[in-house]
Each structure stands twice: as C-alpha cells, then as structure tokens.
Structure 1
Amino acid sequence: MTQLQTRYFSLAALFAFTVFTISAEAQEDWPRFRGASGSGISSSSAPTQWGPEKNIQWKTALPGAGASSPVVVSDKVFLTCYSGYGESRENVGNKEDLKRHVVCIDRTTGKELWSKTIAGTANEDDFSGIGVTAHGYASHTPVCDGESLFVFLGKSGVIAYDLDGKELWKKSVGDGSDSRKWGSASSPIVHDGLLIVPALAESRAVYALDKKTGEQVWVCESDALDNTWATPMIVNVDDRRSDIVIGVPDELWAINSENGKLKWAASGIGDTGFYTSAVESDGMIYASIGGRSGGGSIAIRSGGTKDVTDSHVAWNGRTMASFASPVVYNGHMFVIGRGGVVSVVDIETGKEVGKSRMQSSDSSRPKSSGGGGRFGSPDYGSPVIAGDKVYYTKGNGETFVFNADAECKQIAANKLTDDAEIFPGTPAISNGQLLIRSNKYLYCIGE
C-alpha cells in the first residue's frame, strides 16, 4: 500500500468512526418521565455551566404552563401545557376556559412543528388549596415508543398521536378526583404493546390499554390507589415475568403486567400519600418518600409473591425525599430532601454516607435555596444524571450540579433567566443537551 493510499485509508476510517460516533450519540432518546427506563440516567454527558448568555442553544415560547417534563425522540421534543384557567393565583379565570395543549418542537432549531389543543371537562378540580395551585392541569409527562406519542391529560383523557400530530385514538379513564383535591400528576409508560395509565385520581385505577387501538386490556382498581402521585416502573424479573411497581400509601406494590392482578406488596415506608417514583437497579427496587406522618427509604429484592415485607425487604432507612424521586448510580442513591439537602445513601446498607447542601449562585437568595419545597411549592422536579454528575432543577429555575459520588460536592449552580418564571419539571437529557421547561418557555442547553 502506498503512502497516499495509507493516508486515504486512515482518513476514511476516521471519517467512518466519526460518523458512527455521532450517529450513536444522536440515537439516545429520552422517551418518558426520567428517561428510557425511568432511571433518570443518561448515557451522554451534558454542560455543567450555563446562564442567560451562556450555553443556551435556543428557547421556545410555550402556549401555557405545566409541571410535565419534556420527552425526546430522535429530532422531536414533546411536552404538554395548559392555559385559560389557573395560570396564576392573581388571575384564576373561569374553569370552562381551561385548555390543554400538546406541543412538538424541533430539537435542533427550537421551532414548533405542531401543537394540539384539547378542551377541559366540566368536572375539573378547582384552582384552590395547596396542590393544584402548585402544579396546575398539565402534570403528566408524555411517553413515546418511537412510532406514536401518548399523552395522559387527566380528566381530558388519554390521546395517541402519530409523530406528525395526527390523532390515532382517544380514551377516557375517569373524571374523579383524589380525596385531597391535590390534582392528578402520575405519568404513563409503555410496556410490551401496552400503554400503562395511572389514572389514580380519576378512577383509583391503573389501566392497561392496547397502544395501537386504545382498547382496555385490563384494569387494576383499588381504593388504596388514592393519594398516590407516583409514576409506575417496569421491573423485569426474568424472561417471562415483568412487574409494574408503584408506590401507594404505606406500601409498594407490584402489579402483574399480563393481567393487572396484585403480585406482591411490601410495607415499611409509611406515609398517608406517595409522592415519588421508585427506581430499579440490578434486581433491587429503591424508594424514598417523606410526608406529613412519616417516610423513609427502602430497598426490596424483585420477585416474590403476596406479602414480601419479611422475605424481600433488604433494608429500611431514615433518609426522606421531598417530592423528588431518587436516582441510583454507582452504588449510591441520591435523595433530594428538605432544606436544600442532598443525601447520599449506600445501596447495600441503606446508611447515609454523604450529604451536601445546595448553595445558590445568587447572593440575594437564601444560602440554602434548593430542594426543600413542600406543600404548595413548585419544587416538583427530580434529579437526573449525566456524565457522572447529578442535576437537580428547583422551582425557581436554579439547576444545581453535583459530583455523583459519596462526597456529592456541588460544582455549579446555574440560572436560565432573571425573569419570574416557574420551573416545576424534570430535565430531559439527550445527545449532550439538557431540555428544561418553565411555565413560559422550553430551554435547550448545550455547548
């Protein structure tokens, strides 16, 4: 081979490797609440520092507020919003004017590709109290299987669209309310041809719908599903068994994914409501909650039947989350608690091995400004991980970045805007970009 041929071959190989690498990175989707499996972990890295004039690739105005999180599939970003009623405490408006919106945005340019508007119902919850006033009427994160987009809009029902915005089917899953009138918030997931819809406030039920037709395959109904705002997750026990795990007051449940029957239950993490979602890692299920009457953390081995409290609970701990679901990474569980505290729990023992307090980047704000929001607060986001870093976005728009290790040292605190915006969602991470929504804009952060 001549020197020229060798050089050409080397350049061609480098080009092919570069194209392959870019393509592989571009294929990372974030198709549901907290990513592909609900773990909150991205395979890519992301910027650790940004500001109003730094590393914001684009921002796009939204048709309304919402506490749902964006999802990303290929070159499209999807999210939900609401308008017309309950947009602020100062200007509540009329309930009959409530509208919900589904928006599709081009991930590269930030251009809106399409949007849909769906009317509210006559039985919507009043914009009052400490729940609905904090998160509003678009709190369910959509889910996308790469072919269809599925949105759960509370009393407005479940709607399936193709990725160009054509409606495929629509299904009602009830129009009731939770007993506290805090509003509906749990997000749907897709599993094995089924759309799993946690209609917990609307009908005290978890539905399995055929994702192609919207027809009901099974339903799990129980009064114990009241006062639950968790998003379910899938735990693959073996090649033949998959459980749908969800928290309910005082317990965790596993529902048989084939027929909707209760497979097992475990107690030991008691409170009168369940506000966070569980996570799974290497066959272990982890959860952390904190509430008005109790809380704590728990680790449960997957599998089992009936009451598995004695047989499958590996440990109980005292670490309590706020509204943020925990994230498990490299042997540690990171828990966002009250007062802006991030606790690090050893997943083998349940013992706290580290703790860090969020330090605001703005000297005019309280020194401990993160993660402590509770009832009536917009701090509804959950931590996510990219590039060995923990990211947590607070309701005031600050995103705190920590090293994902036992020390959990804070390395940055970033603001997107100096304007008065509310940021109640969880960031989506895909292809090195962070997508964060407020009540006014969707922001794309990238280097």
Structure 2
Amino acid sequence: MIDHVRVLAAGLLLLVSIAGCDMFRPPVPDVAEITPSADSTPKSVPEITFAETDWPWWRGPQRDGVAAGAAPVEWSSTKNIVWSAPVPGRGHSSPTVVGDRVILATADDSAQTQSVLAFDRTTGEQLWETQVHQGGFPSGGQLHQKSTNANCTVACDGERLFVAFLNHAEIHATALSLDGEIVWQTTLGPFASKFGYAPSPALWGPLALFAADHRDGGFLAGVNRLTGEIVWRRKRPAVATYSSPVVAELGGRPQLVISGGEQISSYDPMSGESLWSVRGTAEATCGTVVWDGDLVFASGGYPQSETICVRADGSGEVWKNRQKCYEQSMLAHDGYLYAVTDRGIAYCWEAATGKEQWKGRLSSPVSASPVLADGHIYVCNEGGTMYVFRADPGKFDLVSENLLGDSSFSTPAVCGGQMFFRVSKGGQGTLYCIGTAESEALTRAE
C-alpha cells in the first residue's frame, strides 16, 4: 500500500514539474462586452497623418508589409551602415519610424520594467526612455522561451504613440507624446498568459484597436485615441492565440480582420460588430492577415498547419494548403502570395488559385515577417541572416545574404530609402540604420 502511495505521489510531482504551478491557477475574470453609444463615439479627433518616408506602425504604412520605396540589398558590419545604437533590455518590438524619430518598446527582465525608447533618425542618438510599467511580469511558465515582455510594435497617429503590455495579468494600453510623456493609460482587460502577449495595435479613424486573445476568453477593444476611453469591447473565443488585428478596405468597406481560434473573423472597426467568420487556419496563429482585392489570406500555426484563402465577404473558402507560417505574416503582391515558413522555406502561390509557382530553401528557423521593397523581399532568420530575394512569380531568385548579430526576431522597417533593423549579439540588443550615402543625404535633406 505504501509503495502505491509513493508511486502516486511521484506521478503527481512529475505532472506538476511538467505543467508547473499554472495547472492550479484560477481562471481570470470574464470580460464584459462594451457597446458604443452616442456619447462614447469619438468626435473631433484629428486625422491620422504620416509622411511617405515614415513607417508608422506594424507592417508599415499600407499595413501589409509593403514599403513605399527601396532599400539596400547588401550590407555588413562595415558596409552600408549609417549608424548603430545599443538597445537596453529585450524585446521583439519592430522599429516604428515617424519624422525624426525611431521608436521601440523594450523590457528589462531583471528590473521587471517595460519601456518605450526613441532614437534620433539621423544619428542614432537615444533621445528618451519612458518607463511605462514596473513589476507584474508573467512567471517563467507563462512566457515562451523565444518570447519577451515587449513584443508589441508601437503605433503612431502623427501626434501620439500607442503601445500595449501584459502586466499584472492584465493588458494595459498606453499613449505617449512624441517627446515620451505619458498621455493616458487604460486597462483593457484581464489576460491569462500561456506564452505571453504579442499583438500590436492598429489605428483606424478615431480609434486605437487592440487584440487580447487568451485561453480564458479573449477580446478585441476599440479605444479613443485622445482619451483612452474604451469605446467598444467584444468577446473572442477562449483560445491562446497571438495575431495582431489589421484594418483593410474589403468589399467596399473597412473591415478589421484577424485570425486565430480556428477561424478568420471580420469586424466593423468603429463598433466592433461582427461582420463574418470563416473556419480555417489553426487554433493558434501569430501572423497578421493579408489581402489581395477581395481575397483574404491567413496561415497558422498550432496544432495543425494550414494556409488558407477566403472571400472578403465571408462567403467561404477559396483554397488552402498544408504549409505553416506560424509566427510570420505573409505578403500579397500583384496577384501572388509570398510566404516564408517556420522551417525557412520560401513559397510563391498564385493568389486566386493557390497554385504553387515555386519554393526555395533558406536556413531556419524564421520568426520575423517579410518586407517587400522595390521588387525585393527581405526576411531574416533567428540567427540574424537577412535574405533578399526577388518578388518574381517566375522563379526563386536569391539576391543576397546579409548577417548582423547572432539573434533576430524583429521585423525591419523600410522607409526613406533606409532599413531600420533590431538585432542582438551576445544578448546585447542593437538598432541599425542601413542605407547608402545617397539615402542618408536624402534623409538629412528632409
């Protein structure tokens, strides 16, 4: 009898060691929906403004990873580096570039602080650092080993910066001025962390839009850009998934689209009203939805592998395959869909049919998303090697391989003829401005 008790106790200890204390955690409180009213609907909010030479938010000015201009296709530690600057802490936040500033989010794990940083776009000098939170980080068992406590890419409306962090088991949104002063902070709702928090905000009209999908019941929220008031909040499936929302003009109207929870879903960005939902992708996705005309594309994830195309009116699936871009977003361009999978395989598919045009092998693993600039696709693997290949549906044409650092999870920003790229070497983060002498002169002239 004693032996049986010992075996049972040993089994329980093993289960706890594998699952951690999280198996005993209480569920987080359910979030209440908020419906917009006439009083809460924002009025007289300044329009969102940015220059052609800016990269104002996640995936760039068009929200799809496509840059307005070109960038160098070759560089090294001694070639085409305009400047480099040390970045304190850790984060996968991608650079946001507006006016004369480059903005990043970062976290100091030892001090448990989450901050926003600004660098001078021309020189790389750090202009300011604003601490947004301290303490309240998720436990080690609630954060993926590849993740950080600063994954969200900052969004800018021309006057304010918007960011969200997971802290004290809640998602908090913060607005800052371009000089780093905190304008407002709002608690969006509770969050049960499995691997951490990833989504970046989307800006549309008078609202900043935030996603917070988690395993105890996620939500989407639309927040007044001026005041931080939650204008609307809608429940989402109780699934741990990580994709950012994006707003696109689809089917003759703006739609907020997001994948995850084994569905691609569309909402009215002004009210949060559900427009349509199509079953597809996977339980967990990380990439941001892309589109081409009235076709919408998403990929995931965990546990199944699937890339899917659906109609933007929600009428159903067009095609799908068994490839997986779990962490990466894809690129839709000129009637073709380009993707790089977790295993470092680049694909080109015909957007309307899903027909495979080609595939090419890069080295893996890959977590960052590709960026398209002047006919070239840039994508970096986790080891810091940036591959450049042509956006050519006829063949896979690798142009160059460029190595900086020994670790990279952050997607670059391309604007004003330059690339802003966050990497790490030996645990020390660095922000690079990559450009030619001509692009540097153009930036100084502006």
2:53 to 28, 43, 48: 28
Distance 1:217 1:226 in 2: 24
1:320 maps to what in 2? 324
Offset from partner CA, 1:256-303 (integer Å, 9 cap, x none): 22321221000133x2212211112223211122333x2222222223
Q: Does 1:221 align with 2:240?
A: no
Offset from partner CA, 1:318-347 (integer Å, 9 cap, x none): 332242111111221111114321011110
Structure 1 segment 277-356 matched on structure 2, within 5 A: 277-292=288-303, 294-303=304-313, 308=314, 311-356=315-360
2:203 maps to what in 1? 190
Distance 1:324 1:267 in 2: 20
Q: Does 1:404 align with 2:408?
A: no
1:111 maps to what in 2? 125
Query: Which runs of 4 or more aligned residues in structure 1 lie more than 4 Å from their structure 2 counterparts after TM superposition?
Result: none
Q: How far 1:238 moved relative to its partner?
A: 5.8
Question: What one-letter code is carried by the residue in structure 1 that aligns with 2:185?
Answer: K
1:211 to 210, 225, 235: 225
Distance 1:113 1:46 in 2: 25
| SS of aligned partner of 2:189 | coil
Contact in 1 for aligned 2:299/2:324 (Cα 8 Å): yes
1:166 maps to what in 2? 181
Matched residue count: 378
Contact in 2 for aligned 1:246/1:277 (Cα 8 Å): yes
Give TM-score scaled by structure 1 length. 0.81
1:389 maps to what in 2? 376
Q: How far 1:422 moved relative to its partner?
A: 2.3
2:402 maps to what in 1? 414
Structure 1 segment 60-139 matched on structure 2, within 5 A: 60-85=85-110, 97-122=111-136, 124-128=137-141, 131-139=143-151
2:165 to 153, 158, 161: 153
Q: Does 1:276 align with 2:290?
A: no
Contact in 2 for aligned 1:40/1:384 (Cα 8 Å): yes
Contact in 2 for aligned 1:104/1:113 (Cα 8 Å): yes
Contact in 2 for aligned 1:65/1:438 (Cα 8 Å): no
Q: 1:200 to 1:322 in 2, by over 3 A?
A: closer
1:13 maps to what in 2? none
Distance 2:274 2:357 in 1: 35
Question: What one-letter code is carried by the residue in structure 2 that aligns with 1:212?
Answer: L
Distance 1:255 1:330 in 2: 26
Q: How far 1:381 moved relative to its partner?
A: 0.7
1:423 maps to what in 2? 408
Q: Does 1:142 align with 2:154?
A: yes
Offset from partner CA, 1:382-432 (integer Å, 9 cap, x none): 001001011001111110000111212111110124xxx421110000111
Q: How far 1:26 moved relative to its partner?
A: 6.8
Q: How far 1:128 moved relative to its partner?
A: 3.8
Distance 1:332 1:339 in 2: 21
Distance 1:120 1:256 in 2: 34
Distance 1:236 1:204 in 2: 25
Offset from partner CA, 1:46-67 (integer Å, 9 cap, x none): 1111111111111111121101
1:177 to 162, 175, 192: 192
Contact in 1 for aligned 2:102/2:119 (Cα 8 Å): yes
2:434 maps to what in 1? 445
Contact in 1 for aligned 2:96/2:153 (Cα 8 Å): yes
1:365 maps to what in 2? none
Alignment gaps of 5+ in structure 2:
1-49, 437-446
Distance 1:267 1:138 in 2: 30
Give TM-score scaled by structure 2 length. 0.81
Question: What one-letter code is carried by the residue in structure 1 that aligns with 2:292?
Answer: S
Structure 1 segment 1-20 matched on structure 2, within 5 A: none
Q: How far 1:133 moved relative to its partner?
A: 2.2
Q: How far 1:43 moved relative to its partner?
A: 1.5
Identity of aligned residues (%): 29
1:362 maps to what in 2? none
Alignment gaps of 5+ in structure 1:
1-24, 86-96, 359-368, 374-378
Distance 1:168 1:422 in 2: 34
Contact in 2 for aligned 1:171/1:214 (Cα 8 Å): yes
Contact in 1 for aligned 2:87/2:430 (Cα 8 Å): yes
| SS of aligned partner of 2:146 | helix
Q: 1:120 to 1:408 in 2, by over 3 A?
A: farther
Question: What one-letter code is carried by the residue in structure 1 that aligns with 2:312?
Answer: S
Contact in 1 for aligned 2:342/2:367 (Cα 8 Å): no
Q: 1:346 to 1:237 in 2, by over 3 A?
A: closer
